[in-house]
Amino acid sequence: MRRKQHGRRARKKKRKRECRETTVKSVTISHEPQFVALRRWLQQRGLSSKLLVPAHFSDTGRGLMTLQPIKADDLVISLPEKCLLTTSTVLRSYIGEYIERWKPPVSPLLALCAFLISERHFGQRAEWKPYIDVLPQKYTCPAYFSDEVINLLPRSLSGKALEQRAVVQELHSSSLGFFSSLQPLFRQPVESVFTYDALRWAWCSVNTRTVYMEHQHSPYMSRERNVYALAPYLDLLNHCPAVQVKASFSHVSRCYEIRSVQGCKRFQQAFICYGPHDNQRLLLEYGFVAPGNPHSVVYVDQGTLQQCICIRDSNQLAQKLLFLKKNDFLANLTLSLDGPSWRLMTALRLLSLRTEQYPFWKSVLLGEMVSQDREEWSVDAALRLCHYLMVDNTRALDKISQLTERADASLKEQLAVVECLRREEQGILGLNQEMLQSLQKQLLPSRQNSMHNLAV
Ligand SMILES: C[S@@+](CC[C@H](N)C(=O)[O-])C[C@H]1O[C@@H](n2cnc3c(N)ncnc32)[C@H](O)[C@@H]1O
C-alpha cells in the first residue's frame, strides 16, 4: 500500500492531480453545424486525425475530448501548415498589398488583428469563415473589464489590468491611419469596421489563442517579435497546470505537432499546459483561473506591506523601503502553498532590523536570522499581511456577490472569474496563516522568557 502523505507536499500533489480526477460532466458538441463546417474545412486543408472531438466540460467549458486512449509520447494533434493563420497568411491575403505599402511597417500583432477583423466583417465571403465562426464572441480578459470590475481585483493585479486595457486602447488609436488605408477593401466606412470593440476582440483572440511559432522577419513588418500562429481546432485545447506536452512546428512533417508526455484516458478532456503560470497571470493573459493551480501565489505589493508593518519612525521606514527597492526586494513578494516565499521573509527580516542591527543587512540578504526577537517580529508581520489580505478578499467577495445579483450575463462571467481568483487566494492565505501560527507557537517559549518590544 502507498504511504499516505501529509502536509504541504501531499496537498500540492493532490492539487496537481485535480484537473484529471475530479468528476467532470462532458457533452460532445461535434455535431453542431459550426464544428461540422470547421472539420470539413480543415480536412480539405489536410487535417486527418479523428482522435479529438469538441465537447463542453462542466469544469472548464468548451474543450477537446479524446475518442481513443492517448499513450505517453503519442501525437495528440498534428495540424498542417495550411491550417495555420500566421503573418505569412495575412501577407498573402487581400490585405497584404496594403501592409506592404504602409509606413512605418505594422506590427505582426496588428497585421493578424486587422485580418481577423476583416474576415469577421466579410462573413459568408470570408475564406476563414469556418474558423471565425467558432471563435468566442467576447473574452473575460481585463481588456473587457469596467473600472468597477478592475477594482475588485487584488491590488497587485489591478494595475496590470489597467495597463492591458490601455495597451489595447493605444493600439487602436495609433492604428487609425493604417485602418483608413484599408478603405478600398470595404463598402462601409472603415471606422465602422475597425472599431475599438473589434480590435479588442481580435487582440484577445490573438493573445489567448495563438501558439508559439517563430517566423522569419518580413521587411513589411515592424521589428516586434513575430511568434504568433493561430491554430484552428488545436486552439480548442484547454490548460491544465499538471499536464506536460511537447509542442512545436515540425519542419519535417510541416505540421504544428502536440505530443503528450503522460498520455490521456479515453473520453477525457485532452489538456495542454500554457506554461507554469500563477492564477493572476492566467486571468490577465487568458481570462480564466485554474482552481487548485500549484503555481498559484498571493502577491504582496508595497502598499499592503506598508499597511501591515509596525514601524513608527517614518524616516526609518522610508530608508528601509528605499534599501529594499535598491536591492530589488520590493517586487515579487509572495505567499504560496509552501508558505511565505524566501524573498518575502527576507524583506520582512530587513524591515525588522533595529538601528544598531543595520550592519547585519548583508547577512540578512543572504538568508540569515539576526535574532530570535527579530524573527518573531517578522513572523508576526507576515501574519498581519495574511490577515489584511484575507479581509480584503472577504470585502471583495461580498461586493462580487452583491454585483452578481443585478449583473447581465457578460458581467456575471467576468465576476465569476474574479470570484474564483479571490477564493483561490483566500485558500492560500488560510494555509499560510496556519503555517505562520504554528511557527509563532514554536517561537513562543522565547517570547515568554523575554519581553520584547515587537515594534521597531
Ligand atoms: C486556447 S483557448 C482554449 C479553448 C477555449 N476553451 C474555447 O472554447 O475556445 C484558451 C481559452 O480557453 C479557456 N480556458 C483554457 N483552459 C481553461 C481552464 N482550465 N479552465 C477554464 N477555461 C479555460 C480560457 O478562456 C482561455 O482564454
278, 266 contact by CB (below 8 A):
no
The verdict on residue 188 lying in a domain is yes
Q: Residue 9 carries which side chain, given as an amino acid letter?
A: R
Nearest CA to ligand 1 atom 6: 62
Q: Which of 59, 60, 230, 277 to mutate to test the pocket of ligand 1 (most atoms within 8 A of CB)?
A: 60
The predicted structure's pLDDT at residue 317: 87
CA of 215 from ligand 1 middle (Å) equals 25
Same domain for 339 and 430? yes
249, 264 contact by CB (below 8 A):
no
Cell numbers placing 127:
475564406
The verdict on residue 192 lying in a domain is yes
236 Cβ below 6 A of ligand 1: yes
Quick one: which of 156, 153, 419, 142 has its CA closest to 299?
Answer: 156
239 Cβ below 6 A of ligand 1: yes
Inter-CA distances, 412 with 149, 152, 400, 416, Å: 10, 13, 9, 6
The predicted structure's pLDDT at residue 453: 42
Q: What are the DSSP E strand ranges found in 39-174?
A: 52-57, 61-66, 75-80
Nearest CA to ligand 1 atom 20: 60
CA of 332 from ligand 1 middle (Å) equals 26
3-state secondary structure of 324: helix
The predicted structure's pLDDT at residue 362: 85
The verdict on residue 304 lying in a domain is yes
**For the chain, first and last CA: distance in Å?**
52
Minimum-distance ligand 1 atom for the alpha carbon of 19: 19
351 Cβ below 6 A of ligand 1: no
Same domain for 433 and 311? yes
Same domain for 326 and 188? no
Complex ipTM more than 0.90, yes or no: yes
The predicted structure's pLDDT at residue 451: 39
The predicted structure's pLDDT at residue 1: 35
The verdict on residue 146 lying in a domain is yes
Same domain for 434 and 312? yes
Instruction: Tell me the HSE value of 180 on the side-chain side, using a 13 A CA sphere.
Output: 5
Reduce the secondary structure of 266-315 to three states and give it as a string: CCCEEEECCCCCCHHHHHHHHCCCCCCCCCCEEECCHHHHHHHCCCCCHH
Q: Which of 16, 134, 239, 283 to mutate to test the pocket of ligand 1 (most atoms within 8 A of CB)?
A: 239
Find the domain containing 133 and state its range.
85-230
How many CB atoms sit inside 10 A of residue 269's CB? 23
The verdict on residue 418 lying in a domain is yes
Kindly state the helix (H) or strand (E) to which residue 228 belongs, with its residue range.
strand 228-230
Same domain for 224 and 148? yes
Contacts of 76 (CB under 8 A, 6+ apart): 51, 52, 70, 237, 245, 258, 259, 260, 264, 270, 272
Nearest CA to ligand 1 atom 27: 286
Considering its fold, how many domains does the chain have in total?
Answer: 2
The predicted structure's pLDDT at residue 253: 96
pLDDT tens string, the chain, 456 residues long: the values are: 333 344 555 555 555 445 555 689 999 999 999 999 999 999 999 999 889 999 999 999 999 999 999 999 999 999 999 999 999 999 999 999 999 999 999 999 999 999 999 999 999 999 999 999 999 999 999 999 999 999 999 999 999 999 999 999 999 999 999 999 999 999 999 999 999 999 999 999 999 999 999 999 999 999 999 999 999 999 999 999 999 999 999 999 999 999 999 999 999 999 999 999 999 999 999 999 999 999 999 999 999 999 898 777 888 888 899 999 999 999 999 999 999 999 999 999 999 999 888 888 888 988 888 889 999 999 999 999 999 999 999 999 999 999 999 999 999 999 999 999 999 999 999 999 999 999 999 887 655 554 344 444
The verdict on residue 182 lying in a domain is yes
Domain boundary among the residues 230, 254, 277 is at 230
| CATH of residue 117 | 3.90.1410.10
The predicted structure's pLDDT at residue 5: 42
Domain boundary among the residues 230, 246, 269 is at 230
Burial class of 304 by CB neighbour count within 10 A (0 to 12, 13 to 18, 19+): buried
CA distance 405 to 403: 5
Q: What is the DSSP string of 45-79?
A: TT----SEEEEEETTTEEEEEESS-B-TT-EEEEE
The predicted structure's pLDDT at residue 399: 98
Q: Which of 238, 279, 418 to mutate to test the pocket of ligand 1 (most atoms within 8 A of CB)?
A: 238
Helix 108-122 × helix 155-174 angle, to 10°: 70
The predicted structure's pLDDT at residue 268: 96
Nearest CA to ligand 1 atom 13: 238
| CATH of residue 373 | 3.90.1420
Same domain for 332 and 217? no
